């Protein structure tokens, strides 16, 4: 023990620790991970059954339905992002750590995306088959979903951080996040529609990528500030 | 000896109630600050505001003469916090939980075997933490303090759920920590027999 500079673990080590911990937790409790995924698959699989098998109709509504299902699946899993840590006191320990809180908030978002966003992207081609989506369009769908789900995990972390101390903050969380998530939904669904109509898709993808970058840059700081307020 | 931790003119309101007002203290290395008072008198709130988890109405906390607001990181690096809720994940094992700690703050798992043996929890390393009893979980929280090399221990009712041997162990661990130039702030509602310099704050 010495009085000069204590050896704080490096930033990368801190980020890796929190991602590894959350992935380990998700692995031990697979239900939390599979819930949103099932929701996404069910909504998208039931929709064609309800509206009928006509190919033209499915081609028109497919991108929109898939994107709405993806957005709602992401919202479904966001509520628990900080809640467990808040309830068992880990959040106090995380806030008190000398590691910068935005970094740890980013780590939580990264693991949230790996657990809920990435599986959704991976199953999306299967789900898209029920809408008879052509292969090239499926590629565009996956790219937009990658950027979209990353943005949603990050934006959602702000809302989850703000509502963590509230009972039943789920409805409020959705309300807070929806305005921020609208551009993702609009550009995501529209880009897939354009791809289905053989139109140019680059602009939409660029926008989603830019929005995603913006979220990566600012969301961890906003989430960290919100966490400090909520945890008082 | 230079003062390590000090509080100047601290006051905190909770709703309409004033928990404390104009509170001052100065703690040197090797000293224990005992915060006493009945339930609901603001012991935990005082500890949380020293840690920086709760904002103060007025006043500031200084660490080695520097207000903690100004240099949050070097203060946090020297603090380890033990609260009512142990702050571990019930689904993970003891070692997995402690390994996460080494990513958060300056801590090492180097001497972990001796620490666990001393705390009497070395048989429990393979179990998920939620299978442990409340007292055993408190002992794991003590392990968190021992693996870190923080100088300031903040302990909120550390004797809760511990058996007689465990309570003696806590007193011994604090004495050893203070002998190594550490400092400790403890909230407790009962009297404490310990042979180190003790300062007291009595909250109403």
Mean pLDDT for chain A?
A: 88
- Domains of chain B as residue ranges with CATH: 1-78+152-204 (3.40.50.300), 88-150 (no CATH)
Q: How far apart are CA B115 and CA B102, in angstroms?
A: 15
Q: Which chain B positions have a beta carbon within 8 Å of A92's beta carbon?
A: 51, 53, 81, 83, 85, 87
Q: How far apart are CA A18 and CA A22, in angstroms?
A: 6
The residue-averaged pLDDT of A160-165 equals 89
Q: Which chain A positions have a beta carbon within 8 Å of B180's beta carbon?
A: 1
Q: Which chain B positions have a beta carbon within 8 Å of A3's beta carbon?
A: 64, 151, 181
ipTM score over 0.85, yes or no: yes
What are the residues facing B80 on neighbouring strands? B153
The answer to whether A132 faces chain B, any CB pair under 8 Å, is no
Which of B15, B100, B147, B154 best probes binding to A when mutated, by most A CB atoms within 10 angstroms?
A: B100
What are the residues facing B128 on neighbouring strands? B93
Residue B7: strand, helix, or coil: strand
Whether residue A77 has pLDDT greater than 80: yes
The answer to whether the beta carbons of residues A123 and A37 sit under 8 Å apart is: yes
Q: How far apart are CA B152 and CA B79, in angstroms?
A: 5
The answer to whether B175 faces chain A, any CB pair under 8 Å, is no
Shortest CA distance to A118 belongs to which of A97, A85, A147?
A: A147
Q: How far apart are CA A72 and CA A66, in angstroms?
A: 10
The answer to whether the beta carbons of residues B121 and B152 sit under 8 Å apart is: no
How much of chain A is in helix, strand and coil states, percent to nearest 5?
85, 0, 15
The answer to whether the beta carbons of residues A117 and A110 sit under 8 Å apart is: no
Structure tokens at B80: 């380890």
Q: How far apart are CA B17 and CA A204, in angstroms?
A: 55
Whether residue A1 has pLDDT greater than 80: no
Residue B54: strand, helix, or coil: coil
Nearest-CA residue of chain B relative to A23?
Answer: B92
- Higher per-residue confidence, A186 vs A33: A186
Residue B163 Cα to chain centre, angstroms? 19
Using the beta-carbon criterion (under 8 Å), do B106 and A232 form an inter-chain contact? no
Q: How far apart are CA B40 and CA A181, in angstroms?
A: 42
Q: Would you tell me how many other CB atoms lie within 10 Å of the CB of residue A131?
A: 24
Residue B5: strand, helix, or coil: strand
Phi-psi region of B22 (alpha: psi -120 to 50; beta: other; left: phi over 0): left
Phi then psi for residue B141, to 5 deg, are -65, -35
Q: What is the pLDDT of residues B149-202, one digit of tens each?
A: 888 999 988 888 888 888 888 888 888 888 888 889 988 877 777 788 888 888
SS (H, E, C) B156-194: ECCCCCCCHHHHHHHHHHHHHHHHCCCEEEEECCCCCCC
Using the beta-carbon criterion (under 8 Å), do A90 and B149 form an inter-chain contact? no
The answer to whether B14 faces chain A, any CB pair under 8 Å, is no
Whether residue A108 has pLDDT greater than 90: yes
Q: What is the pLDDT of residues A182-209, one digit of tens each?
A: 999 999 999 998 888 888 888 999 999 9
pLDDT at A186: 92
């Amino acid at each position: 023990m010495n009085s000069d500079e204590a050896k704080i673990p490096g930033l990368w080590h801190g980020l890796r620790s929190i991602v590894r911990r959350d992935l380990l937790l998700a692995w031990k409790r697979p239900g939390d991970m599979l819930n949103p995924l099932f929701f996404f698959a069910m909504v998208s699989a039931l929709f064609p059954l309800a509206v009928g098998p006509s190919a033209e109709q499915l081609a028109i509504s497919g991108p929109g339905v898939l994107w709405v299902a993806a957005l709602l699946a992401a919202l479904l899993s966001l509520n628990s992002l900080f809640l467990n840590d808040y309830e068992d006191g880990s959040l106090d320990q995380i806030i008190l750590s000398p590691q910068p809180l935005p970094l740890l908030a980013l780590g939580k978002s990264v693991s949230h995306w790996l657990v809920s966003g990435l599986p959704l992207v991976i199953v999306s081609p299967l789900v898209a088959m029920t809408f008879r989506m052509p292969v090239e369009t499926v590629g565009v769908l996956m790219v937009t979903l990658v950027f979209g789900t990353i943005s949603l995990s990050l934006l959602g972390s702000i809302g989850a951080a703000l509502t963590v101390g509230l009972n039943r903050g789920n409805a409020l969380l959705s309300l807070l996040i929806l305005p921020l998530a609208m551009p993702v939904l609009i550009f995501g669904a529209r880009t897939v529609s354009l791809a289905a109509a053989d139109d140019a898709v680059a602009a939409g993808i660029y926008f989603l990528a830019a929005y995603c970058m913006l979220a990566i840059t600012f969301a961890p700081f906003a989430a960290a500030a919100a966490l400090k307020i909520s945890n008082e | 000896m230079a003062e390590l931790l000090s509080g100047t003119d601290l006051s905190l309101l909770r709703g309409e109630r004033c928990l404390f007002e104009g509170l001052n203290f100065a703690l040197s290395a090797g000293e224990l600050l005992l915060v006493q008072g009945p339930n609901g008198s603001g012991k935990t709130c005082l500890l949380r505001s020293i840690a920086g988890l709760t904002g103060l109405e007025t006043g500031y906390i200084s660490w080695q003469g520097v207000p903690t607001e100004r240099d949050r990181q070097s203060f946090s690096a020297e603090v380890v916090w033990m609260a009512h809720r142990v702050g571990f994940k019930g689904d993970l094992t003891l070692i997995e939980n402690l390994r996460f700690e080494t990513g958060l703050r300056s801590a090492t798992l180097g001497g972990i075997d001796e620490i666990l043996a001393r705390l009497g929890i070395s048989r429990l390393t393979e179990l998920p933490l939620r299978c442990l009893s409340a007292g055993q979980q408190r002992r794991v929280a003590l392990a968190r303090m021992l693996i870190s090399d923080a100088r300031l221990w903040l302990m909120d009712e550390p004797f809760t759920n511990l058996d007689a041997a465990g309570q003696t162990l806590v007193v011994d661990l604090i004495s050893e920590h203070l002998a190594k130039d550490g400092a400790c702030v403890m909230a407790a509602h009962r009297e404490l027999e310990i042979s180190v310099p003790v300062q007291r704050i009595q909250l109403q």
